[in-house]
Amino acid sequence: MRRLRRRVLDGRRLVPTTFHALDGRTTFPDISFARRSENELSGAVGFKFNPRGRLLIDANVLFGLNDRGLRDSLTPLVGIEYGF
């Protein structure tokens, strides 16, 4: 397994906020943007298979190890290579 780390510098993120109405008592849930730096940590595992000759098949899966950033929970990749 391989760990991959990515540092996002001053990235714009959605954060929950509260909107206050003009009457001073009523509040509503809202969202806004905030700039902050974060670390995204991912893991990857895969294998390569050579069924015969110059044909190579590889498969990998990328997955998040923390809850930072917008990404899939699992990202599969399948590749087929042939050398001439």
Which tens digit of pLDDT belongs to each residue from 23-74? 989 999 999 999 988 888 889 999 999 999 999 999 999 998 888 777 788 9
pTM, to two decimals:
0.60
Rounded-to-integer distance, Cα 43 and Cα 71, Å: 13
The DSSP letter of residue 79 is E
3-state secondary structure at position 84: coil
Helix, strand, coil proportions of the chain in percent (round to 5)? 0, 75, 25
**What ranges do the domains of the chain cover?**
2-82
Confidence of residue 19 (pLDDT cuts 50, 70, 90): very high
Residue of 21, 84, 81, 6 lying closest to 51 (CA atoms): 81
Cβ atoms of residues 51 and 80 within 8 Å:
no
